[in-house]
Amino acid sequence: MSLSTPMATHINELPVETIDHIMSYLPLADRKSASLVCHRWSEQAFTYRYLASVRLRLKEQSLEDKRVIVEALQASWRMYRNVMVDFGNTGIDLVLILVILNKFGEWIEVFGSQTSFTSWQLKEMLKRLPKIRRLVVNVINERESYVTPEEFPVLESLVDFRSTDAIFEIPGMNAYRMMPSLRNLSLCFQRYVTGNTFIALSSVSSQLKMLEVFADFSRAPIELLDLRQLEILKLWGTNFFIHNEALRQLFMRVPMLSVLFLHVRMSTSLLQVICDNCPQLTSFGFIADRMEHRALFALHKLTNLKILLIDGCLKYHMIDGCRPLPKVETFCIYWHKKHIDLERFVKQLHYMLPNVKTFKVIGTRSKEMDHLLMHHIGKMFTKIIKLTIADFEFPPEDLILDDGFDWIGDLVNVEQLTLSGIPLRKIGCQRGCSKVTRLRLENFDYLLGENLLHVAEIFPNLRFLKIYRCTLITAKDVESLQEVMPNCVINFVERKR
């Protein structure tokens, strides 16, 4: 009796279903590498199933570049489902976009473009997107190009729509007919809300789960919107603070609301109404200017609150005597003015927020306040794991620091640290921070590349470093740092000059 050695099976002899199952375990980066092995793997790595998590972004300037892109896409066999296009605003760009939609439109579920379209152009695009679920477009207010509402195709699958208000300004626009399945709506109004826009918004308001609006509602009765199903509400606009009465009526009729961000100068009475009528809020943000003594006391009614964002000038008297909010783990404060007694303020803030793990401070303005504030936060908020310090305002010359960050040694448990836009020439610290393993340095205009090596001394256990758009730091500076930090992954994005 002879024994024969079984023939080995080549991986490409496996059934398509088996290779597809193997590919399902690979993250996007690994599938991209696998697609380069051979033609068959290229097809299997990016089938219709896997393209749901892949965004095709097209952003080129020259006409020749656009033509090359279109020719390559027309030859592609991939069924792209998520496409973002930014070709500018010329007529030829619409032609190229329509070519792309003619090729992939039947599969596209997410489409976005920074190009602005007339309502007629938008109609032509939508006719080619039968499966669209999320749409992000800008519409130009050109009355001569208006189409009637009935000319727009019915988008049965559209769930998420983000746009300017121009499409809603079309007289007689029936948004419910056009978008019967709409759940998420984001609108940016160029001015106040008009009657036509409000009528169109009202036609879909009762079915919305998320509404985000940047607008002035001074001429529209926002309190009349039927938002009974709404779970997420974001209102931005400089004139909201004069409409507290309308907002009070609105918040008495949003029983499902769980996320609320208001660019509103909050009054104590409005805050009370929100806390009484929306006890299920998990995320809440507002402006805390000119509030009364113990104004934030009402927040204790929000027993499910996990994320709290406060803009404006938060003062000690507003939080004095407030009860602890034990479930809040993420806190963001927009810092505008100097407090007389920072230690007392931070101590009370910690009493109110004893379990914060993610802390973000934005907009510090004074050298002394920066150091004292962060020193007290580091000392008292010992449960912080993720900390972000950001300053997005251009500083005067006397606020540019030659050295700083002695308070970093106070961060006993911080593992992830983000520093953004801080006017600093050198990162200096007498005590290191051994717990930090992930660091992001973003938008530093004054940080000198020659001082970048101090990062290795301050953060000896760093495993990931991202340097993003720091004006004076070069690739050569990053290479020098990598030599002394061989175990750290450094992601460097250079600012274009």
Cα 345 from Cα 350, distance rounded (Å)? 9
pLDDT for res 396 = 44
Question: Residue 333 burial (CB < 10 Å; 0-12/13-18/19+)?
Answer: buried
pLDDT band for 6, please (50, 70, 90 cuts): low
pLDDT for res 242 = 47
Residue 57: what are its φ and ψ, rounded to 5°?
-110, 125
Structure tokens at 185: 């709506």
Average predicted confidence (pLDDT) for the chain: 82
Question: Containing H/E element for 189?
Answer: strand 184-192
Categorise residue 362: left if φ over 0, alpha if ψ from -120 to 50, beta otherwise.
beta
């009493």: which residue's tokens?
A: 351
Q: Reduced to 3 states, what is the DSSP secondary structure of residue 201? A: helix
pLDDT digits (tens, 9 = 90+) for 219-239: 667 888 899 999 999 988 655
pLDDT band for 12, please (50, 70, 90 cuts): confident
Structure tokens at 98: 């329509």
Question: Residue 229 burial (CB < 10 Å; 0-12/13-18/19+)?
Answer: middle
pLDDT band for 398, please (50, 70, 90 cuts): very low
pLDDT band for 92, please (50, 70, 90 cuts): low
With CA atoms as reference, report the closest residue to 149 among 130, 131, 121, 123: 123
pLDDT for res 258 = 97
pLDDT band for 399, please (50, 70, 90 cuts): very low
pLDDT digits (tens, 9 = 90+) for 125-183: 999 999 999 999 888 766 655 677 778 888 889 999 998 767 777 776 778 888 999 99
Cα 383 from Cα 355, distance rounded (Å)? 6
> Does position 477 have pLDDT exceeding 80, yes or no?
yes
pTM exceeds 0.85, yes or no? no
